[in-house]
Amino acid sequence: MVVGKTTKRTLYRERRQGDGWAEAADDGRQTEVSFPVWKRQGARSLAASAAATGRRAAASPQERTRGGDTATMARSPKHVMLKRSRDHAGRTMCEAMGAGRTGCYIVLDVMLDMAECEGVVDIYNCVKTLCSRRINMIQTEEQYVFIHDAILEACLCGETAIPVSEFSPTYKELLKVDSQSNTSQLREEFQTLNSVTPHLDVEECSISLMPRNREKNRSMDVLPPDRSLAFLVTTEGESSNYINAALADSFLRPAAFVVTPHPLPGTTTDFWRLVYDYGCTSIVMLNQLNQSNSAWPCLQYWPEPGLQQFGPMTVELLSRTEHDDVIIRLFRVQNITRDLDETDLSEQDTTRLLPKQIQEGQLVVRHFQFLRWSPYRDIPDSKKAFLSLLAQVHNWQRECGEGRTVVHCLNGGGRSGTFSACTMILEMIRHHSMVDVFFAAKTLRNSKPNMVETMEQYRFCYELAQEYLDCLEAR
């Protein structure tokens, strides 16, 4: 079973009897969880998720409350594996060198146990003891800082995952306003999210702030951190490889979303280069076109009808379908700098053309222009319309296979984050029967801190999960 960036397997020990294999007893069952994406140097912004995953993975099914396993946000090219028998007899961790990442996990596990049992932690002496038994168990200063961040965030955030079977009553409890504090658990949860969201320093956005890149930013208030930038690959004259766009993980796949503001008149070519370079098969547009606002112009960036060239890219409208809530367009994006054979695509062919079948050098992209989000509202006008949009994008992406999704709104923040978070929540429900809005928002904010900006948007993610579960029950 794949859970976010975590792969979980249940293994059974078997004992040889005569000529056959005897089925293992129940106490021979082991759980193996691998984390295939934990970078060797660590990642401070991913602390809480790594700690929470380790604790859930180590717990037995009977020990898990308000949750279950969730995705880890640790990253690396190798696998980190944890095995723990059902009777908690012990755990085995392994990685390429048996140090560093393994040491981080052991310290996290021991310190979270200590915090739970004694109300204190002693990271220094734990690390000192561990390294006295095996050298290089904590290899770098960054790993040492990572452990502190992870413990702090795990203690602050607590358990935020909710099993689907308990979602409705739990959500009602979260909404209740305490008479003494005059606040709700849900609001406190959002405040905790804000407190653990990384605040970016100027040094962390150095590329966006370079003089030649400043005019490519719609706003200087919220910029993507250097670590999350989606750099352009296709060359176009003397143009730089910068675009204000951040790669963000979904629950099931790293870098599934490319989040960006609505293209400026001077960045339209860069936008289509971005779509092509990152194999994006869906574009989700969550803002309205606005040509009258000179400070924040949101102009049409696609041809309608016909074909238009944007630098090295040609974009051709293949079809357009208008519904009450969304306008769906199909585009063919082609890199004309590549030596390609011409392909004849008649209009009747486009309904059955899938991106898997696209030849090298061109891409078929479906553009979803959502119409039910008023300009001055933080949340969509209709939950059902938004669920329908999510379903249409999901179905198209499932047909496309490995394509990414470009999500844009006015500033590439609140609305784009809400869409991405809701996508992650539906993935959690479908694949693991759990809801963790906090985890979804925290994961996205690791890539860009203004994702899911307001309390209203955060609550909408819960309400959309409830709406989706209600729809499942009604079937």
Q: What positions carry a catalytic annotation?
A: 94, 409
Distance, in Å, from the CA atom of 249 to the CA atom of 442, rounded to the nearest integer, reads 11
DSSP 8-state assignment for residue 172:
H
In sequence order, what are the residues at sequence separation of 6 or more whose Cβ sits closer than 8 angstroms to the Cβ of residue 358? 364
Beta strands in 353-451 (DSSP E): 362-370, 404-409, 434-435
Among 255, 279, 268, residue whose Cα is nearest residue 364:
279
DSSP 8-state assignment for residue 356:
G
Among 54, 73, 50, 57, residue whose Cα is nearest residue 8:
57
Distance, in Å, from the CA atom of 33 to the CA atom of 81, rounded to the nearest integer, reads 5
Q: What single string gives the DSSP state of each residue in 209-269?
A: TSHHHHTT-S-SSS---GGGB----S--TT--S--S-EEE--SSSTT-EEEEEPPPTTTHH
Helix (H, G, I), strand (E, B) or coil at 92: strand
Among 9, 183, 188, residue whose Cα is nearest residue 81:
9
Distance, in Å, from the CA atom of 370 to the CA atom of 259, rounded to the nearest integer, reads 16
Distance, in Å, from the CA atom of 231 to the CA atom of 353, rounded to the nearest integer, reads 29
Q: Are 420 and 248 in contact (CB under 8 A)?
A: yes
Structure tokens at 339: 């030596």
DSSP 8-state assignment for residue 449:
T
Give the type of residue at 204. Answer: E
Among 464, 473, 424, residue whose Cα is nearest residue 445:
424
User: How far is the CA of 452 from the CAs of 17, 443, 463, in angstroms?
Assistant: 57, 11, 14
Torsional sign, CA 225, 212, 256, 303: positive
CA dihedral 278, 283, 284, 286 (to 10 degrees): 100
Q: Which residue has the tokens 């971005």?
A: 274
Q: Are 407 and 286 in contact (CB under 8 A)?
A: yes
Beta strands in 129-263 (DSSP E): 162-163, 246-248, 257-261
Give the DSSP H or E segment for 332: strand 326-335
Distance, in Å, from the CA atom of 410 to the CA atom of 287, rounded to the nearest integer, reads 6
